[in-house]
Amino acid sequence: MKFKLIVASVSDEVTDAIVDAARAEGATGCTVVTSARGQGLKKTKTFFGLDLSGARDVVLIIVEQHLSRRILERISEAGGFDDRPGTGVAVMIDVEDAVGLGSQIHTLQSEIEDEI
C-alpha cells in the first residue's frame, strides 16, 4: 500500500472544516500542529511589534494514494483556499515508508478495495 502526506497550513477558523472534509473523503486521522506562523504575498501588520495575523494551524494527514487527490480537492473546497486569500494552502508529498499505521491499514483496505 502506498501513501501520500497532505500538509495544509490553514487559518485556525477553518481547521475543523478541513479535518471533517478529509474524514468524509476517507482519511482515517490527522495531526494538527497549532500556533504556526506564516506569511503570504503581503506582510502582516503589527501593533507595537505584536503580530496581528490570525493563528494558523498545520494539519498533517497521511492518506492512501488512491484517495489522496480527492481528499486534497475536498479540503481545498472546505477551507475556501481558492476563494478567500490567506485562508490556507495544501501540498501533497509522496511517503516513501511509514510505520504505526497497522490499525488503519485494515480499514483502508476495505474502503478502497473497489477502487484498486
Q: Inter-axis angle of helices 15-24 and 65-79, to 10 degrees? A: 140
Give, for all 116 residues of the chain, the pLDDT tens digit: 789 999 999 988 899 999 999 999 999 889 999 988 766 666 655 556 555 556 789 999 999 898 999 999 999 999 999 998 878 899 999 999 888 877 677 676 666 665 55
Q: To the nearest whole number, what is the mean pLDDT of the chain?
A: 83
* Residue range 79-102, pLDDT digits in tens: 999 998 878 899 999 999 888 877
Give the pTM.
0.78
Residue with cell string 484498486: 116
Q: How many CB atoms lie within 10 A of CB 65?
A: 14
Just give the CATH number of 3-39+50-112: 3.30.70.120
